[in-house]
Amino acid sequence: MSGNELGLYLRARREAIDPAEAGLPDGGRRNKPGLRRSEVATLAGISAERVARLEQGRDHHPSAPVLAALGDALRLTPAERARLYQLAKAGLAGHGKAGPAREVRPAVLALLQTLEPALAVLLNHLGEALAHTTSYAAVAGAAGLLDGTPPSLLRFVFTDERARTVYPDWDKVADEQVAALKQGPFHADPDVAALVDELTVTAGDTFARRYDTVSGPACANGVTRFYHPEAREIRLAYETLELPADDGQRLVVYLPADLAAAAALARLTTPGPTSVHRYAVFGQVLTTEPSAPDQQRKDRRTPDRNRPGLRLVSGDPKNTP
């Protein structure tokens, strides 16, 4: 390590850009490849002296907005932006704490086990997935939500290109994630502040604009659309349960919002096509008198649009009672 990894990285990226790609005239003969420092400064909206100090290792503490502006000027990809942020963060002093609490109490783990086969995930105040049911892993894992160590729902939503496919209502989901982040200590917590700075760089305006404008608490319940590569679109009803403040964690439980979603979840979370799950289904539910004769039973199956029902749902929609 040279001790100036950030400066070397900035210089390498600057020299790798063709001026034409940045929309700049060639400016005549150039002694070195890439952009001039003054050109980067103009594109980023900062001084050429600031660019020089960063490249020479005389400035180790660029702010998140400066890093974001440099990322735009240097046309960095999301992965390159993440690397830029990591190098800048490495030059900062420690926060004086061990980091976010990621320990899960045994009682909470036991609670998750009792929630099977429902989709449930335990998140901390940074949006990191600390624990989950096996059903959640079967559904969310295939979509990429559990990638990373630890998996981060916020990073997935804002920096993973799959997120806009997984969440058809992406704008709403993104707003909710920022609102949830701002419910806690927010910038008073150095870990939250670091995550905000990171996403300001890696996600750019899509995160920064919400950080500045989203207000109010996140919705504790509702219905969301989720796209699975095998089952296609699934409608899920969710409930958020806040754990004690000392835990700094919340449990999010997802249930099928209709019978089609229940059948899809049964297919995804059971090994065989004949397996059945007892799912609580929200929305229109067909109720049947269990003691009615066979001929009358069919006639008595009527839709009840006003309340949820507990249904035995198989993986085949045709076999759903």
270-281 as b/e: b if 16+ CB within 10 A: beeeeebbebeb
pLDDT given for residue 302 in this prediction: 46
In a shared domain, residues 247 and 132: yes
Mean pLDDT of 27-41: 81
Q: Within a domain: residue 289?
A: yes
In a shared domain, residues 143 and 251: yes
Q: Within a domain: residue 169?
A: yes
Last residue of a domain, one of 59, 90, 121: 90
Q: Name the residue range of residue 312's domain.
A: 259-319
CA dist., res. 117 & res. 277, Å (int):
7
How many helices (H) and strands (E) the chain has is answered by 14, 9
Q: Could you read off the pLDDT of 220-255 as tens digits, one per residue?
A: 899 999 999 988 999 999 999 988 867 789 999 999
In a shared domain, residues 124 and 84: no
Greater pLDDT, 114 or 187:
114
Q: Alpha carbon 40 to chain centroid distance?
A: 31
In 3D space, the residue among 161, 193, 186, 12 whose CA is nearest the CA of residue 87 turns out to be 12
Q: Domain count for the chain, please give it.
A: 3
Whether the predicted model's global pTM rises above the 0.85 cut: no
Q: Does the pLDDT value for residue 110 go beyond 60?
A: yes
Q: Could you read off the pLDDT of 271-287 as tens digits, one per residue?
A: 655 455 555 555 544 43
Per cent of the chain over pLDDT 90 is: 42
Name the residue type at position 175.
D
Binned at pLDDT 50, 70 and 90, residue 306 comes out as very low
- Biggest CA–CA distance in the chain, Å, is 92
In 3D space, the residue among 267, 242, 263 whose CA is nearest the CA of residue 252 turns out to be 242
Three-class SS of 154-203? HHHHHHCCCHHHHCCCHHHHHHHHHHHHHCCCHHHCHHHHHHHHHHHHHC
Last residue of a domain, one of 213, 233, 255: 255
CA dist., res. 174 & res. 169, Å (int):
9
Q: Within a domain: residue 96?
A: no
